[in-house]
């Protein structure tokens, strides 16, 4: 039992990052060398998704372009024998993965964005990923962790994390009945409560696995503040009918919807990648390739392929192959075509 379809609500205006997001999608903001939306897509694919459903708005065409094939760029990279960079570009969307783009005519909230995906999702269980929440799942991506819970219990799963009580007013907060370590059945969910009214400090973050029942409930969900349809309101109705689990994922979340969280994601992910690359290089220099070449494949820290500097510790935080091209002195003018008429 595998979740084949993933929904990405990307129609938001990104007002907190103006003027940077005036003409471009906030989901295209880069963390080191990849846009936020690419990290989200990679996480979904790693959990088994085959159909990616983007709920877009105006000024979001850059997202569609990013996952489209760039014939001219690929041809130029191939002609200049930039093999690693060519592979990096081609792997943005692996073979066998389908993209569907649906326009959300009005920004009516997360619940409405999910409802817009109904024609593409149909009668299947599906996942929802908010690209603003960049999650380093350590040994396993967050959605893949949730997928294991879903496979065991066969019901809706929502990612959660503990937050300070003075921050609960920024989140949906759940009250749960423990089911196992880091796992509970949701009894109540409250959207952005005051600290004194919060049922707990267990906050909902931007990862969901939902059954298609949510669509019927969203149809019945009245508009709340600002005329928006809240996903949490529909989930509140769902828990009266079905079991919905709250899962405390293992990993670190970066709130890239805020400037501070976005900056932290860039700094920490860059330092992680550089640290492991540096350690790999130092270790490689200590090995006599002729005498002890058989050790090169053994002396590898978890997730690091020393031979080609592929730092997969950062599978969520950047493939280092493009970095190799930078280290050889490649410049933009060496890779990209000259301006042409």
Please report, in tens digits, the pLDDT of each residue of the chain (341 residues total): 789 999 999 988 777 778 777 777 888 888 888 999 999 999 999 999 999 999 998 778 889 999 998 889 989 999 999 999 998 898 899 999 999 999 998 888 999 999 999 999 999 999 999 999 999 877 889 999 999 999 999 999 999 999 999 888 888 899 999 998 999 999 999 888 899 889 999 999 999 999 999 999 999 999 876 788 999 999 999 999 999 999 999 999 999 988 898 898 888 876 665 555 555 555 555 554 545 555 445 544 444 333 344 444 444 344 434 444 444 444 444 434 444 44
Mean pLDDT estimate for the chain: 81
Let me know: does 244 contact 185? Beta carbons within 8 Å.
Answer: yes
Query: What is the CATH superfamily name and number for domain 5-255?
Result: Spore Coat Polysaccharide Biosynthesis Protein SpsA; Chain A (3.90.550.10)
pLDDT (0 to 100) of residue 313: 41
pLDDT (0 to 100) of residue 11: 87
Question: What is the separation of C-alpha 306 from the centre of its chain, rounded to a whole number of angstroms?
Answer: 26
Q: What element of type H or E holds 6?
A: strand 5-9
Distances (CA, A) of 336 to 34, 70, 83, 324: 18, 12, 14, 17
Neighbours of 74 (CB within 10 A): 15
Distances (CA, A) of 61 to 57, 67, 99, 101, 227: 8, 10, 13, 10, 26
pLDDT (0 to 100) of residue 97: 93
Q: For residue 253, what are its two tokens?
A: 């979340």
pLDDT > 90: what percent of the chain?
A: 49
Instruction: At 110, give phi and psi (nearest 5°).
Output: -65, -40
pLDDT (0 to 100) of residue 203: 94
Cα separation, 82 vs 72, whole angstroms: 14
Q: What element of type H or E holds 332?
A: helix 332-335
Task: Encode burial over 187-209: b for 16+ CB neighbours within 10 A, e otherwise.
Answer: eebbbbbeeeebebbbbbbbbbb
> Model confidence over 232-252: pLDDT tens digits?
999 999 999 999 999 999 999
E-strand stretches of 13-167: 30-31, 34-35, 51-56, 98-103, 126-129, 133-136, 156-162
Cα separation, 173 vs 171, whole angstroms: 6
List the domain boundaries for the chain.
Answer: 5-255, 259-335
Let me know: does 136 contact 161? Beta carbons within 8 Å.
Answer: no
Q: What element of type H or E holds 120?
A: helix 118-121
Q: CA angle at residue 47 from 45 to 53, to 5 degrees?
A: 50
pLDDT (0 to 100) of residue 278: 56
pLDDT (0 to 100) of residue 110: 93
Residues 6+ apart with CB under 8 A from 203: 160, 161, 162, 163, 167, 168, 170, 171, 172, 173, 174
């Amino acid at each position: 039992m595998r979740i084949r379809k993933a929904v990405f609500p990307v129609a938001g205006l990104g007002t907190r990052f103006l003027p940077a997001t005036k003409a471009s999608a906030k989901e295209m903001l880069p963390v080191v060398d990849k846009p936020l939306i690419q990290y989200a897509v990679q996480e979904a694919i790693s959990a088994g998704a085959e159909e990616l459903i983007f709920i877009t708005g105006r000024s979001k065409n850059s997202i569609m372009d990013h996952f489209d094939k760039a014939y001219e760029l690929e041809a130029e990279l191939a002609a200049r024998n930039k093999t690693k960079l060519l592979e990096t570009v081609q792997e943005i969307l692996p073979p066998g993965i389908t993209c569907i783009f649906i326009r959300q005519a009005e920004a009516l909230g997360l619940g409405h964005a999910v409802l817009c995906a109904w024609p593409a999702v149909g009668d299947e269980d599906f996942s929802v990923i908010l690209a603003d929440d960049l999650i380093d799942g350590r040994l396993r991506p967050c959605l893949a962790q949730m997928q294991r819970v879903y496979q065991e219990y066969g019901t809706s799963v929502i990612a959660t994390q503990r937050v300070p009580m003075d921050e609960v007013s920024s989140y949906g907060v759940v009250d749960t009945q423990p089911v196992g370590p880091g796992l509970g059945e949701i009894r109540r969910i409250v959207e952005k409560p005051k600290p004194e009214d919060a049922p707990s400090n267990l906050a909902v973050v931007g990862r969901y696995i939902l059954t298609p029942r949510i669509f019927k409930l969203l149809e019945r969900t009245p508009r709340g503040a600002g005329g928006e349809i809240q996903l949490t309101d529909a989930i509140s109705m769902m828990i009266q009918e079905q079991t919905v689990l709250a899962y405390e994922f293992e990993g670190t979340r970066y709130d890239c919807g805020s400037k501070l969280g976005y900056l932290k994601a860039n700094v920490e992910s860059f330092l992680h990648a550089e640290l492991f690359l540096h350690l790999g290089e130092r270790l490689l220099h200590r090995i006599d390739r002729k005498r002890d070449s058989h050790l090169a494949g053994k002396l590898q820290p978890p997730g690091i392929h020393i031979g080609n500097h592929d730092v997969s510790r950062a599978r969520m935080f950047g493939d280092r192959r493009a970095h190799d091209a930078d280290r050889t002195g490649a410049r933009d003018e060496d890779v990209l075509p000259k301006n042409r008429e």
